[in-house]
Amino acid sequence: MGTTKTEHFTDKQNATASMLKALGHPARIAIMEFLITANHCICGDIVNEIPLSQPTISQHLKELKNAGLIKGRVEGNAICYCVNEQSISDIIGYFGNITNKINQRAGNCC
């Protein structure tokens, strides 16, 4: 117990859940928004921008990276982060599909 039973679900369902889970924390939403708003890659400003400790930010960045939502590039002794635009397209694609299915069907009773 305590563990998600991923084996009952499709790969696509697990992959989708895992992307959205990575975005399911306000600090990670804030990091994504910061990276996007900043008009360029961010090297070393993230810790100053978000009021959490450096290890905590580093951990959140790792999770975003594992989920494929951001990319990192080593730049001297700093690391430049930016959004993986493909991942955002994938998410939009997913919800676009959902919307199409909603629009195609008969209608709700609730």
39 sits in the region (left: phi over 0; alpha: psi -120 to 50; else beta) called left
Residue 73: beta bridge partners? 80
Of 19, 35, 63, 64, the one binding DNA (CB under 7 A) is 63
Cβ–Cβ < 8 Å for 70, 32: yes
Q: Interface with its own copies includes 101 (CB under 8 A)?
A: yes
Is residue 79 packed enough to be buried (19+ CB in 10 Å), middle (13-18) or exposed (0-12)? middle
Q: Interface with DNA includes 13 (CB under 7 A)?
A: no
Compute the least distance from the CB of residue 106 to DNA, in Å: 19
Q: Interface with its own copies includes 99 (CB under 8 A)?
A: yes
Question: How far out from the chain centre does Cα 51 lie?
Answer: 19
Contacts with its own copies by CB under 8 A lie at 4-6, 8-9, 13-14, 16-18, 20-30, 32-33, 36-37, 39-41, 50-52, 71-73, 80-83, 85, 88-89, 91-92, 95-96, 98-99, 101-102, 105-110
